[in-house]
């Protein structure tokens, strides 16, 4: 049985800054609990190593749809079932709402118990709060990728002015 978690937060940075930081997948361990590492393999492929409740997993995830300053959608490849979408909505020139939805298949007793007790919901909300602190403290992104992806295919490239 799959588990779906949704969470939102408002960050006091422009949508471009929030989105640009989110596309820096290798920085995820700095604010996502349980994420040991994320390796960017290509424009559409990442490799994840996670440790949750003493269970270590590795999996690849493919970005299926990505539009700058709007959203990023992904899904795992292989045995681990995990997919999600993050949406960025400008609230003002200097603030952005981030809406996150993640769905996965908990495996084993520990993961199923965590889902039943809604520990996953709490973790995702904490992660978004840590992202908020991370990006507001910096006030700028650590890099950017401004390409678009539709159906798993890259349709445009990077903005060289945004490479930091």
Tell me how many degrees the CA angle 159-157-81 measures, rounded to the nearest 5.
115
* DSSP E strand stretches across the chain: 3-11, 35-40, 45-52, 55-67, 71-77, 82-92, 95-104, 148-150, 153-156
The answer to whether position 158 is within a domain reads no
pLDDT at residue number 112: 47
The count of domains in the chain is: 1
pLDDT at residue number 146: 84
The answer to whether position 41 is within a domain reads yes
> Residue 163 CA to chain centroid, in angstroms?
20
pLDDT at residue number 81: 76
The answer to whether position 163 is within a domain reads no
The answer to whether position 18 is within a domain reads yes
CATH number for the domain that contains residue 58 = 3.30.530.20
pLDDT by residue for the chain (164 residues), tens only, comes to 677 888 999 999 999 999 999 999 999 999 988 889 999 999 999 999 988 767 788 899 999 999 999 999 999 898 767 789 999 999 999 999 999 998 867 565 445 444 443 445 677 889 999 999 999 998 788 877 888 888 888 886 554 444 33
pLDDT at residue number 161: 43
> Residue 21 CA to chain centroid, in angstroms?
10
| Helix, strand counts (H, E) of the chain | 3, 9
Domain hosting residue 52, numbered range: 3-152
The answer to whether position 45 is within a domain reads yes
The answer to whether position 157 is within a domain reads no
Task: Give which of 70, 65, 68 is closest to 90, Cα–Cα.
Answer: 70
The answer to whether position 127 is within a domain reads yes
**How far, CA to CA in Å, does 75 sit from each of 16, 33, 93?**
23, 19, 31
pTM of the model: 0.83
């Amino acid at each position: 049985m799959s588990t779906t978690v949704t969470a939102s937060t408002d960050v006091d940075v422009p949508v471009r800054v929030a989105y640009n930081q989110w596309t820096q997948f290798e920085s995820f361990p700095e604010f996502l609990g349980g994420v040991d590492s994320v390796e960017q393999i290509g424009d559409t492929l990442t490799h994840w190593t996670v440790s949750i409740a003493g269970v270590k997993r590795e999996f690849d995830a493919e970005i299926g749809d990505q539009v700058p300053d709007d959203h990023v959608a992904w899904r795992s490849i292989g045995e681990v079932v995990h997919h999600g979408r993050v949406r960025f909505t400008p609230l003002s020139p200097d603030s952005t709402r981030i809406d996150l939805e993640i769905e996965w298949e908990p495996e084993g007793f520990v993961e199923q118990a965590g889902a039943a007790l809604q520990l996953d919901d709490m973790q995702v909300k904490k992660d978004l709060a840590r992202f908020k602190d991370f990006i507001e403290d910096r006030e700028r992104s650590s890099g950017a990728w401004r390409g678009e992806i539709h159906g798993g295919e890259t349709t445009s490239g990077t903005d060289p002015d945004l490479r930091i």
